[in-house]
Chain A
Amino acid sequence: MPGNIRSVCAVWAMLVCLVFCGKLTTVDAAPLCTNAQAGCHVLSLANLFDRVIQHSARMHGISNDLHSEFELYFLPSKNQIGRVSRNCHTSSILTPNGKENAQRMAREELTEVILKLLVAWRDPLWHFHQSMAHHHDFNNFSSNKSLEMSDMVHELRKGVQKVVEKMQMLGIISNSVSNLASPEALLASDSAEWRLMKDYDLLYCFRRDSNKVQNYLKILKCRIVPEHGC
């Protein structure tokens, strides 16, 4: 029965195709290959940068939302900038304050700055989320956002580290970038400062710092791999 055989063959071919297509697509989603193993689908540096920049943009957006919400609910008066009594705990990190400064900065330095910022915000955001969760006035939506924010900082740090590794592998930057996987080195210096900050100040500072991170990443990308989207 040729009809039956044909249908069986078609089904078989389809299954084979699905298996192969599945294999091909899963290759794209595979974790980053560290040593350029054979058969491993490697993401390009531009692709990595794009992902990280998107992530940082989202993080900044959430911090902006949270900050304006906080202002709306807790602080009716408009401009609180003048009332920021203390500086942010990350003020000790030297960051370029202008475009030209950022562009003039060495790549390694800029990368280090980014990583320092991200590392510095991991614990404070976690504690912020914990305090918000117990705050009855804060609605669930904001509470979820604060959790998301702390998670994103963590993820973004890991992503940036991967980018750094890739850049070091490609020889774009030297290996002088210190491995900031262990944040103890950094936190030891300013561990207590952020605990003194009020919630609003924390949000304000983080909003600012997330914008910094976003800008620095974009500048770095457009300097190193100015392919598209620059």
Chain B
Amino acid sequence: MLLWKTNDGVCSNTSAPLEPHFTECISREQETFRCWWSPGSYHNLSSPGALRVFYLKKDSPTSEWKECPEYIHSNRECFFDVNHTSVWIPYCMQLRGENVTYFNEDDCFTVENIVRPDPPVSLSWTLLNISPSGLSYDVMVNWEPPPSADVDAGWMRIEYEIQYRERNTTNWEALEMQPHTQQTIYGLHIGKDYEVHIRCRMVAFTKFGEFSDSIFIEVTEIPTKESTIPFTLVLVLGIVGILILIMLIVITQQHRLMMVLLPPVPAPKIKGIDSELLKKGKLDELNFILTGGGMGGLPTYAPDFYQDEPWVEFIEVDGEDGDSGEREDNRASDTQRLLGLPHPVSHHMNMGCSNAISFPDDDSGRASCYNPDLPEQDTLMLMATLLPGQPEEEEASFDVEERAPASSERSLVQAQTGGPQTWVNTDFYAQVSNVMPSGGVVLSPGQQLRIQESTSATEEETQKGKEDEDSKETEEQKQKELQFQLLVVDPEGSGYTTESNVRQISTPPSSGEGYQTIHPQPVETKPAATMEDNQSPYILPDSPQSQFFSPVADYTVVQELDSHHSLLLNPPPNQSPPPCLPQHPLKAPMPVGYITPDLLGNLSP
């Protein structure tokens, strides 16, 4: 025996003949199977019938070798049909010659392990999409399971493997195995030709079947340039059309469309106020609304804004006791004030027309002195009482108040028990409370020069204490008040002044301020504030000081209206003119709580 080395380094024994052996046994559908044999190097055995096939089916211990049920000599094939095929049972194959048996233990198998399914059929492909760049695309491949495999009965469960490659290349790209009869191939390149084929095998087994016939996929470039030209054209035409449309709308003044295309710029708005009111000349309504007189009135204008500006004046309403009580007390206090009756009020009921607007009430715009319930008869009566009866009382108060400046600033004014309310006010005007049948107008009681007895001394003291800080300030203000008082006082002692007098008086003050606030204190301190003002704010006909202590009429009768819309009042006999004069050098009435810029100009000294 000669041994020589072959190229792969294996010693091969060329003289030893190759025995007849089985090349392969395959089942296609797990129902039948075939075995092929080869005579090897024993060429004399290649003729049909020289070798015989025997098999052993180990389904029982007593099984024995049987001959092949069906020979196909042209192929050297042994075919086992359905009747002779049993799955899950080991088969062993052997070749027998004349007196020789060629058997190899490797030729034993079970049918399920030799199954190689037929290739799938009816391959087809569809284009899924093309990438935005236009360079690659995706393809969906569909096929049918092999017809021989009984997939419907569940006898075989098959999984498929797709492989593809570019034409004329050698390497196949394999996708993952999966049991469905369709699969997507991603990322194919446009312009290239692809070849696709599929093979399959049983699930959880190792042997693949043959590859199917190949199909070819090619997608050529889609011309895109044509689409760009009409696109730009459409765009340009569209823009031009829209422009023309807008021009037409603007020209033809279609207001509705113009509103849509060119919405108007919103005008400034204040909630609750019609913008018409803001136009010139409609101040009355605006004031009314702003001061909360209307339905959903605006919140009251805070007096704090104008604390520093003495020419701004507010009518203050005392809101300590609420509205309901206030009304009655108003009434009572008004009457009592008018009549000079003692007022059994133990608490502060300051209904004076004081400076600041104290609370956000609808009445705040008005002087709290306003008492609409005062009947007309009472008016007459009150007028009468304002005549001689009062001076006595007020002289008494004068004495008290005379003493006051003599003492300290902190002296308390001894209030007559239950005296009428003290007033702290420098009203330039008053509200008309009623119109008398004779034609006169009843004004609500004047405020400022009325310092009547306060109710509780302690309160005044405490409030006095608060006022200590402001003492200096009030002193200065007193000076101003003196001047201020001159405005309303008739130097001739008639107790009233006409407007002409007022004008004369108004010029001397060099302060340059026609109006001042008496004091900026809050509401609660009103009584005390009035204490401080005791010394100053009285208007006396004879001297500035003495004038301050003269009682102030609660109301007076309007004589006439002058050309400037000011009220000319009848003077009460020994009364100083009511402080509540609605006159002022301005043309229009001073708006409460609000000053428009054009009014501001009129406030010049």
- Cβ of B65 within 8 Å of any chain A Cβ, yes or no, is no
Q: Which residues on the B side are within 8 Å of A84 (C-beta)?
A: 90
A57 to B203 Cα, complex, angstroms: 9
Distance from A156 Cβ to chain B, minimum over Cβ atoms (Å): 15
Task: Choose among B59, B88, B90, B154 the residue that contacts A218 (Cβ–Cβ < 8 A).
Answer: B154
**Interface membership of chain B positions 187-218, coded 1 if the CB is closer than 8 angstroms to chain A and 0 otherwise:** 00000000000000001111000000000000
Interface residues of A, count at CB 8 A: 28
- Cβ of B108 within 8 Å of any chain A Cβ, yes or no, is yes
Distance from B180 Cβ to chain A, minimum over Cβ atoms (Å): 11
Task: Choose among A64, A95, A222 the residue that contacts B204 (Cβ–Cβ < 8 A).
Answer: A64
- Cβ of B359 within 8 Å of any chain A Cβ, yes or no, is no
- Cβ of A212 within 8 Å of any chain B Cβ, yes or no, is yes
- Cβ of A185 within 8 Å of any chain B Cβ, yes or no, is no
- Cβ of B143 within 8 Å of any chain A Cβ, yes or no, is no
Q: Which residues on the B side are within 8 Å of A221 (C-beta)?
A: 154
- Cβ of A188 within 8 Å of any chain B Cβ, yes or no, is no
A219 to B82 Cα, complex, angstroms: 17
Interface residues in B117-154 by Cβ distance below 8 A to A read: 150, 152-154
Task: Choose among B88, B107, B203, B205 the residue that contacts A95 (Cβ–Cβ < 8 A).
Answer: B88
Distance from A109 Cβ to chain B, minimum over Cβ atoms (Å): 17
Q: Which residues on the A side are within 8 Å of B110 (C-beta)?
A: 81, 208
Q: Are A98 and B153 in contact (CB under 8 A)?
A: no
Q: Are A100 and B204 in contact (CB under 8 A)?
A: no
A61 to B203 Cα, complex, angstroms: 8
**Interface membership of chain B positions 514-533, coded 1 if the CB is closer than 8 angstroms to chain A and 0 otherwise:** 00000000000000000000
Q: Are B59 and A97 in contact (CB under 8 A)?
A: yes
Q: Are A218 and B157 in contact (CB under 8 A)?
A: yes
Given A60-B204, A79-B108, A99-B31, does the pair A222, B92 have CB atoms closer than 8 Å?
no
Q: Are B204 and A219 in contact (CB under 8 A)?
A: no
Q: Which residues on the A side are within 8 Å of B18 (C-beta)?
A: none
Interface residues of B, count at CB 8 A: 30
**Interface membership of chain A positions 64-97, coded 1 if the CB is closer than 8 angstroms to chain B and 0 otherwise:** 1000100000000011011110010000000101
Q: Are B88 and A219 in contact (CB under 8 A)?
A: no
A100 to B87 Cα, complex, angstroms: 11
A97 to B84 Cα, complex, angstroms: 10
Q: Are A81 and B204 in contact (CB under 8 A)?
A: no
- Cβ of A230 within 8 Å of any chain B Cβ, yes or no, is yes
- Cβ of A211 within 8 Å of any chain B Cβ, yes or no, is yes
- Cβ of A103 within 8 Å of any chain B Cβ, yes or no, is yes
- Cβ of B105 within 8 Å of any chain A Cβ, yes or no, is yes
Q: Which residues on the A side are within 8 Å of B92 (C-beta)?
A: 82
Q: Which residue of B lies closest to A207 (CB)?
A: B204
A84 to B108 Cα, complex, angstroms: 10
A84 to B89 Cα, complex, angstroms: 12
Interface residues in A181-228 by Cβ distance below 8 A to B read: 208, 211-212, 214-215, 218-219, 221-222
Q: Are A64 and B205 in contact (CB under 8 A)?
A: yes
Q: Which residue of A lies closest to B153 (CB)?
A: A222
Interface residues in B3-48 by Cβ distance below 8 A to A read: 30-31
Task: Choose among A82, A99, A208, A212 the residue that contacts B106 (Cβ–Cβ < 8 A).
Answer: A82
Q: Are B87 and A98 in contact (CB under 8 A)?
A: yes
Q: Which residues on the B side are within 8 Å of A103 (C-beta)?
A: 153
Q: Are A230 and B152 in contact (CB under 8 A)?
A: yes
Q: Are B90 and A97 in contact (CB under 8 A)?
A: no
Q: Are A97 and B86 in contact (CB under 8 A)?
A: yes
Q: Which residue of A lies closest to B31 (CB)?
A: A99
Q: Which residues on the B side are within 8 Å of A79 (C-beta)?
A: 105-106, 108-109
Given A57-B203, A98-B86, does the pair A219, B105 have CB atoms closer than 8 Å?
no
Q: Which residues on the B side are within 8 Å of A83 (C-beta)?
A: 105
Q: Which residues on the B side are within 8 Å of A61 (C-beta)?
A: 203-204
Q: Which residues on the A side are within 8 Å of B59 (C-beta)?
A: 97
- Cβ of B186 within 8 Å of any chain A Cβ, yes or no, is no
Q: Are A99 and B205 in contact (CB under 8 A)?
A: no
**Interface membership of chain B positions 427-469, coded 1 if the CB is closer than 8 angstroms to chain A and 0 otherwise:** 0000000000000000000000000000000000000000000
Q: Are B205 and A219 in contact (CB under 8 A)?
A: no
A60 to B112 Cα, complex, angstroms: 13
Q: Which residue, B31, B58, B88, B90, has most C-beta atoms of chain A within 10 A?
A: B88
Q: Are A208 and B88 in contact (CB under 8 A)?
A: yes
Q: Which residues on the A side are within 8 Å of B155 (C-beta)?
A: 99, 215, 218-219
A90 to B153 Cα, complex, angstroms: 25
Residues of chain B touching chain A, judged by Cβ–Cβ distance below 8 Å, are 30-31, 58-59, 61, 82, 85-90, 92, 105-110, 112, 150, 152-155, 157, 203-206
Q: List 20 A-B contacts (CB under 8 A).
A: A64-B204, A68-B206, A79-B109, A81-B90, A81-B108, A81-B109, A81-B110, A82-B105, A82-B106, A83-B105, A97-B86, A98-B31, A208-B88, A208-B110, A211-B88, A218-B157, A219-B153, A230-B152, A230-B153, A230-B154
A-B contacts besides A103-B153, A230-B152, 13 pairs, CB < 8 Å? A57-B203, A64-B205, A79-B105, A81-B109, A82-B106, A82-B107, A82-B108, A87-B58, A215-B155, A219-B154, A219-B155, A221-B154, A230-B153
